[in-house]
A and B are shown apart, each in its own frame.
Chain A
Amino acid sequence: MIGAAVAVASTCCLGAVVPPLAVLDWHAVFFMLFAAAACGCALAVVLADNVVRMAFYLVLSLGATAGLFFLAGAEFVGAMQLMIYVGGTLVLLVFGVMLTAQAPFVSIKTSAGEKAVGGLLGGALLTLLLVAALSVEPWRRPGSVGPTEPSATPLGMALVGVRVDEPPARSPAVGRSGYLLPFEIISVHLLVVLVAAAYLARAKRRKTPRPVEMVASVEPPVSVAEHAAIGREAPAGVPARSGSVLVGGGS
């Protein structure tokens, strides 16, 4: 192993300690940038105790991962990562953080023993995965890659059931249609899940009504709207029912 490494070091140009600008592979430069950002921010998510900072580091890590997707030639997946993950899921998580971030829960400390056991098991798993990852032989020979077609159109066509790309040889996808059935299943699944989430997270009906509801139930809605109009100038186009809708709708 060491002999082979020395041979590699001697055959590769030894003099180029600082490579000139033309030697730099910009794919490699941006890969290093995004990979360092993704891994560093993921590590910061693990090490941070404050849940708000964890959410912020997670946003950075997922954004850098989207950059990695762009670099790998999967621009549609990278765009979806930015729009759905960073734009949707993380906003949902941040709302959850804000709704539950009472003072004792912003940072819940983990005991040192649990951290040690978790770090030990994580290190063992990382070693296993790194050995497996480094044993994948490089697919790419120098100078073998040219510009490729954008993948958004074949992906979109495959999602509606038409394969316009050429599947790799010996792939089980040869001769099959695209992903129409998984696409339908996942869309119905998403609908069901979001309805269920809205049902689970709805505001519960309370036994004792809140004060604002008591006001709304005692007084007729029109007078509530008039009360609202007394305090400030009523806008011209607002109907009189809007005040009662706002007060009565919060049950």
Chain B
Amino acid sequence: MTAMVAPLAWVCPVFGLGPLGHPPGVSHYLVVGAILFVCGVVCMATKRNALGVLMGIELVLNGANVNFVAFASPWLQADGARSIGLDGQAIAVFVIVLAAAEAAVALAITLNFYNNHATVDVDRADDLKG
């Protein structure tokens, strides 16, 4: 119960001093990561431009990165017992590098598709449909 109330007291000023009186905890970072993740998923699902789908993928990876950094943060932990320490930051760096590689290859594929089909609409990419 207290675990559910504490973030509410932080978010809504009715429950306490207001959002600016308490330091943020790990839950607040997780909320930001969840919002970024969902925005990316919706962007991937609804955009018809191939570059819009790519931007959705970037948003999803960033939401995951926010979670990794929050769990690894030395500022948000009471004692060192439950943090994942340096592993989270190393994984975040790897995710950033992999996102750069993925963006390069996906952009090359998109440009090839644009050269061959003269469009970037992903709904038109149905050549493999039997």
Measured CA separation A17–B97 after assembly (Å): 45
Residues of A whose CB lies within 8 Å of any CB of B are: 1, 4-5, 8-9, 12-13, 16-17, 19, 23-25, 27-29, 31-32, 35, 38-39, 42-43, 45-46, 51, 54-55, 58, 61-62, 65, 68-69, 71-74, 76-77, 80-81, 84-85, 88-89, 92-93, 95-97, 99-100, 105, 108-110, 114-115, 118-119, 121-122, 125-126, 129-130, 132-141, 144-145, 148-149, 151, 154-155, 158-159, 163, 165-171, 173, 179, 182, 186, 189-190, 193-194, 196-198, 200-201, 204
Decide if A135 touches B4 in the complex (CB within 8 Å): yes
User: A28 and B14 in contact (CB under 8 A), knowing A72-B73, A110-B46, A139-B77?
Assistant: no
Q: How far is the CB of A33 from chain B (nearest CB, A)?
A: 10
Using CB atoms, name the residue of chain A closest to B94. Answer: A186
Chain A residues positioned under 8 Å from B69 (CB to CB): 68-69, 72, 74, 77
Q: How many chain B residues touch the partner (CB < 8 A)?
A: 100
Q: Number of A-B pairs whose CB atoms are under 8 Å?
A: 329
Residues in A whose Cβ lies below 8 Å from that of B111: 96, 99-100, 200-201
Docked Cα-Cα span, A180 to B30, in Å, equals: 29
The reply to whether A140 and B96 form a contact with Cβ atoms under 8 Å apart is: no
